[in-house]
Amino acid sequence: MTRKKDEYVSLEQRSLMANIKRPDLFVSIHCDAYHIKTVSGMTVHVYQHPSMGALQAAKMIERQLLIHFPQHRHRGIKKSNFHVLRETQMPAVLVECEFLSNPDTRKFLREPENQKRLAQAISRGSFRYLEGIK
């Protein structure tokens, strides 16, 4: 965890913390936003030139999101140049859980039970990946 309370941690600090601790997998969890309020969906991002480990982890997390949230739009796995994907030295994924800018998905995200289910899906996918590399 890069933080235990609601405080800002820069992207550079997040990457540095990960590189110092050297976990087997770095997972960054976010909620998306867009100027068009009807856009929705979950996305798993990997770096533009991902490692095999990052791709495998992304596939396992995406699969769990699909299983747990079949009624949601899934935007797939995307290659991105996000700082925490580019600057970490271990397999890394960034999960966009839904769009805060969409009133319907914002309502979904506010529900504690949905937050718990999202965390469970992401952790199950992460653990499946980690079990495969041990």
User: Quick one: 117 exposed, middle or buried, by C-beta within 10 A (0-12, 13-18, 19+)?
Assistant: middle
- Report the candidate in 113, 97, 119 with the shortest Cα–Cα distance to residue 40: 97
Q: What is the DSSP letter of 77?
A: E
- Report the candidate in 116, 125, 67, 70 with the shortest Cα–Cα distance to residue 95: 125
> Which token pair is 14?
């997040």
User: Once rounded to an integer, what is the mean pLDDT over residues 105-117?
Assistant: 98
Q: Are 47 and 54 in contact (CB under 8 A)?
A: yes
Task: Assign domain 24-133 to its CATH architecture.
Answer: 3-Layer(aba) Sandwich (3.40)
pLDDT band at 5 (very low <50, low <70, confident <90, very high): confident
pTM for this model (two decimals): 0.94
Q: What is the DSSP letter of 49?
A: S
Instruction: Look at residue 93 and tell me whether its pLDDT is greater than 80.
Output: yes
Q: Where do the domains of the chain lie? A: 24-133
Side chain identity at 85, as an amino acid letter?
L
